[in-house]
Structure 1
């Protein structure tokens, strides 16, 4: 599989997880919204790194590595900051949104509608920024029709 095939697969998966997250928001399963938003963000970040030809690390906290990429550093400061902060916030929520808190609080009790909506918006911002970076470099964010 080429880096571009991985990129397309990860971008598609990121977008589908965000769609799924929106359905959980309607059902007030806020921890699932946060969990899927984090996964969506992570997959989009991996897609960007794959597009840049990098050997994508098999880890979940990619916001720092993404922020070090030269095209990302050329974005307006406020966009860079929001991209970093979105990735960081979602990364922090990864474990509690899936497993719960260290004190035994279940994930369902950790999140409310406000945080779930924020997580959706953060993931959406990351995906759209990643797509814009890829397109600005002449890449395609969708598989070419065969």
Structure 2
């Protein structure tokens, strides 16, 4: 089973952003760890606040893990808090992994945006700033971003 490349994920989502990167990295890790063989073997439950930019993580998971709304092998649950958890289950083997976004990651992303934006108005951040932040998140070790539960 092969998901979309990251470049294809960016096209699907519409732009390269840090929250897309987070979902993509989590989906890749789940695929490597759980080793599904077919496109229906992986199921994902995402607990996320239902507001942007947090929901962008969903597109990353869909692209990397092949868990999609169309195949009904993804479930999105509104998280009332800012807690973001991703539960991946191999439906053939019943093995699962649960990843929780570390609490400091949203702050890290906002801090990187402010640092890179400089004196620019934060309401009108340019795509190049968001892409640079996405690149920085991509370079981080996955365990700096997520913890395994």
Q: TM-score when scaled to structure 2? A: 0.30
With a CA cutoff of 8 Å and minimum separation of 6, indicate the structure with the bigger relative contact order: 1
Q: Comparing both structures, which one devotes a greater share of its residues to helix? A: 1
Q: TM-score when scaled to structure 1? A: 0.31
Q: Comparing both structures, which one devotes a greater share of its residues to strand? A: 2
